[in-house]
């Protein structure tokens, strides 16, 4: 049975922090996968992820 909280949470829009956290996680996963074959590209993705982490910290303050 679906509770009221689950029903309303289904249509809840993500906050800016949640969106950035999803993007951060995605970049980390991509970086890890590509690091086995192309270290330079993986480092670039890690740098992008770090920039997003800084944005997340700034929004949380």
Q: Which long-range contacts (CB under 8 A, 24 or more apart) does 15-18 make?
A: 16/59, 17/56, 17/59, 17/60
- Using CA atoms, how far residue 4 sits from 7, 12, 13, 15, 37, in Å, is 5, 13, 16, 20, 47
Distance, in Å, from the CA atom of 25 to the CA atom of 61, rounded to the nearest integer, reads: 20
Q: Where are the domains of the chain?
A: 13-60
Report pLDDT for 13: 82
What is the per-residue pLDDT across 4-60, written as a single tens digit (0 to 9) for each?
Answer: 555 566 667 889 999 999 999 999 999 999 999 999 999 999 999 999 999 999 999
Distance, in Å, from the CA atom of 32 to the CA atom of 51, rounded to the nearest integer, reads: 17
């Amino acid at each position: 049975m679906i509770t009221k909280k689950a029903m309303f949470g289904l249509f809840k829009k993500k906050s800016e922090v949640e969106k950035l956290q999803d993007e951060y996680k995605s970049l980390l996963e991509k970086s890890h996968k590509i690091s086995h074959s192309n270290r330079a590209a993986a480092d670039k993705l890690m740098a992008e992820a770090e920039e997003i982490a800084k944005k997340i910290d700034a929004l949380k303050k």
